[in-house]
Amino acid sequence: MSGNTVLFVAPPVSVAEHFNKLKDLGFEVGVAENLSGAKAYIEKKPALILSKARIPGYRVESLLGVSAEAMGNFPPIIVFTDSGTPEEAKKLMELGAADYWLEPLVWDRLEAALPVLESEQPEPAEPAPAEKSVRPQAAPEIIGKHPAMLRVLALARQVAPSKATVLISGESGTGKEKFARFLHVQSDRVGQPFVAINCAALPEHLLESELFGHEKGSFTGAINRKLGKFELAHGGTILLDEISEMELGLQAKLLRVLQEGEIDRVGGVDTVKVDVRVLATTNRNIEEYVQEGKFRQDLFYRLNVIPLKLPSLNERGEDVILLATHFVKSFCKAYGLPKLDFSPEARKWLLEYEWPGNVRELQNLMERAVLLAGGGPIQTSHFLLDPDSWQPESLQEEPQTSSEAAQGVHLPDDVIRLEEMEKLMIIKSLDKTEGNRTQAADLLGISVRTLRNKLNEYRKQGLEL
């Protein structure tokens, strides 16, 4: 293990999809599921740590405490969680977290946070002023052939080389951040930083410090000067994610940055010039926010120079199949599984489902299906939707595995009752996760408590679990 290592403190199944991509870039990957395991890896000097906020038996605060004791001789820690709050973000970043992300753990964001590989750093010929070294980025792959998607993509390509601000709107899960990264990579700023910040994840006073930086002693806990995201993005691009959630007072300060190209650090007296292209995203109807007085009209006009409106997934027709096939191929590779195809019934269901969670929901369902399909093909039952709202009619006959036989689960020749299907899926999930109930519950989309109750029911029926 070396400075070219990325350490995940998380259940392996939740981050495995990124392993091969990291290795392709030349990084080693470490995984720990508790504090003692993380400490063992950290002694070998990883370059970056990405930690879940909470795992059974572990909280990231304990790792941040170890980082604080190291007095700066410690790799940066990025915290990610599926149930974040502004209060938790404030607390963890004050404890020393480098950043706070909401899941899913998107590859584009992870790639942008990677350090420069030791082998890629040039030998210094002579002392020179320190400059930021930024990893060249490939353009994100945007998959889609629907006319609505092609129009948005064509507009993005046309405006990417400019410095114009772009407001990207669309429902949650439509890929707004991916389009923002596409704009950056297609511009002449591609060799410069791309910095993203979620305006909804932080309270106003902390968000101001994160955006503009602060001086030592400017508030309780400001023990050193900190550069804000705008300074870190100098020469490059900043993405203001969920801009509509920003408080009005901070909107006025952001407007000044857009108009004057300069910032004031919290507690500072000197004005700092910045050259940054601003991109923003929102899942709200921001024009309604303007009418209701929740968003400044002058800031809206500044941001909305180029509007990009992303279509929802249920408006994109056959793109659903293209994306589903792409995700299945990716997850099969990540988990070392053979190629999987869709059954005709599953393909029909994919086209008819409304996709309230858009592309993000599709990606999550495809990961679940890959893990549960075994040898394939993928059936509708492998999507494991809520039994109360979805009733399977039939399943193709599958060979009974030794594990299922040992548990006394018998598959009928033609139709399987809902209760038996549920039991089978739970047992398969436990097999896939080697008995880890937390991971199995995540895979099934249910709570650990619900899984525990189901297992108790099966024990009463005489099953040995």
Report residues of the chain scoring pLDDT below 70: 1-3, 70-72, 116-139, 220-223, 384-421, 462-465
Distance CA 403, CA 231 (A): 57
Nearest to 22 by CA among 43, 42, 50: 50
Closest residue by Cα to residue 279 from 253, 312, 242: 242
pLDDT at 409: 44
pLDDT reported for residue 351? 95
What is the CA angle 368-340-82, rounded to 5? 20
The amino acid present at 196, given as its one-letter code, is A
pLDDT value of position 419: 66
Q: 237 and 194 in contact (C-beta within 8 Å)?
A: yes
Residue 397: the pLDDT is: 43
Residue type, 138: A
pLDDT of residue 126: 37
Global pTM reads: 0.62
Please state, in angstroms and rounded to a whole number, the distance separating the CA atoms of residues 280 and 238. 8
Report all structural domains of the chain as residue ranges with CATH numbers, in order of start.
1-103 (3.40.50.2300), 136-311 (3.40.50.300), 316-460 (1.10.8.60)
Read off the amino acid at residue 451: L
**Helix 358-373, helix 437-444: angle, nearest 10:** 120
> Residue 317: what pLDDT?
94
321 Ramachandran zone, left/alpha/beta (phi>0; psi -120 to 50)? alpha
Which residues touch 39 (CB under 8 Å, ≥6 apart)? Answer: 66
pLDDT at position 71, please? 56
pLDDT on residue 415: 38
Determine the pLDDT at residue 149: 94
Using an 8 Å Cβ cutoff, are 185 and 134 in contact?
A: no
* Residue 42 to residue 5: CA distance in whole angstroms: 10
Beta bridge partners of 99: 78
What DSSP state is assigned to residue 292?
Answer: T
Q: Which residue has the tokens 């910095």?
A: 195
